[in-house]
């Protein structure tokens, strides 16, 4: 992967950028996404944000190597600390857990002024991100689920709007867990992901059944059984 050829995961993220926009890539690593987006004219300008020195320097070197310093600024800071309100149109956060992405957005709420689109790619716990979006008046407008190198990724795109719109006429618990758009499309990658998750949860339930009963274990078992039921209903509903 480089600034001209992104991974399938990051190329999918880039495809959701608003044309001619300015965007901030939080946790930019080598700044491949900002460089690619500017080179391919998917965005006019970008800010690459990094919290640690090593990736920060890697991002700076990448931008300099591609002679893009006039269009891409690399900044060091924690999450949305690297931007100011009304400075960018889009924000991308990719390759982190859903809990961390939600925390970054929550900690930097005041920096979201002027931002019209969020493009988020949680590695795990996409449901945490969907919950945050709902609770903070961001409408989920699109989702994709893809497989790359034997790993499955979900990409979530949100804009300010009617937060309940994607969930109308759906089991909201199932939709938050699996994605309101993804559960409708139900492609092969979606089926693979949730079939594997169900099998994993069933094994855990069996282990809990065999272990000495405690209140904590009963709560965990009940929660897993609820999730299994939700997923099986989604997968069986053709």
**CATH code reported for the domain at 8-177:** 3.40.50.150
pLDDT tens digits for range 37-78:
999 999 999 999 999 999 999 999 999 999 999 999 999 999
Residue 211 vs residue 128, higher pLDDT: 128
| Entry field: residues in the chain | 238
Q: How many helices (H) and strands (E) does the chain have?
A: 9, 7
What does the pLDDT read at residue 26?
98
In the predicted structure, residue 238 carries a pLDDT above the cut 70: no
Contacts of 222 (CB under 8 A, 6+ apart): none
> Which residues on neighbouring strands pair with residue 90, listed in sequence order?
23, 117
pLDDT tens digits for range 105-133:
999 999 999 999 999 999 999 999 999 99
Phi-psi sector, 10: left (phi>0), alpha (psi -120 to 50), beta: alpha
Q: String of b and e for 30-45 (b: at least 16 CB within 10 Å)?
A: bbbbbbbbbeeebbeb
Convert 57-87 into a string of H (helix), E (strand) and C (coil): HHHHHHHHHCCCCCCEEEEECCHHHHCCCCC
Mean pLDDT for the chain? Answer: 95
In the predicted structure, residue 10 carries a pLDDT above the cut 80: yes
Q: How far is CA 194 from CA 121, 131, 174, 177, 214, in A?
A: 18, 19, 12, 10, 28
In the predicted structure, residue 232 carries a pLDDT above the cut 70: yes
What average pLDDT does this structure show over 132-147?
A: 98
What average pLDDT does this structure show over 191-200?
A: 97
Neighbours of 188 (CB within 10 A): 9
What does the pLDDT read at residue 211?
81
């Amino acid at each position: 992967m480089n600034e001209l050829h992104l991974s399938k995961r990051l190329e999918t993220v880039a495809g959701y950028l608003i044309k001619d926009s300015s965007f901030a890539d939080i946790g930019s690593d080598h700044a491949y996404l900002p460089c690619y987006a500017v080179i391919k004219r998917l965005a006019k300008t970008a800010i690459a944000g990094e919290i640690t020195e090593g990736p920060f320097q890697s991002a700076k070197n990448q931008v300099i190597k591609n002679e893009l310093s006039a269009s891409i600024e690399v900044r060091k800071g924690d999450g949305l600390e690297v931007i100011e309100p009304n400075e960018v149109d889009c924000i991308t956060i990719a390759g982190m857990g859903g809990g961390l992405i939600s925390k970054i957005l929550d900690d930097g709420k005041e920096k979201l002024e002027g931002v019209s689109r969020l493009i988020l790619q949680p590695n795990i716990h996409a449901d945490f991100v969907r919950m945050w979006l709902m609770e903070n008046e961001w409408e989920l407008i699109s989702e994709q689920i893809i497989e790359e190198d034997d790993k499955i990724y979900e990409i979530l795109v949100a804009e300010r709007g009617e937060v309940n719109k994607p969930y109308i006429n759906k089991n909201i618990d199932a939709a938050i867990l699996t994605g309101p758009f993804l559960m409708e499309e139900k492609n092969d990658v979606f089926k693979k992901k949730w079939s594997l998750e169900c099998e994993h949860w069933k094994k855990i339930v069996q282990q809990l059944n065999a272990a000495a009963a405690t209140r904590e274990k009963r709560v965990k078992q009940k929660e897993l059984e609820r999730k299994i039921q939700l997923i099986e209903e989604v997968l069986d509903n053709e």
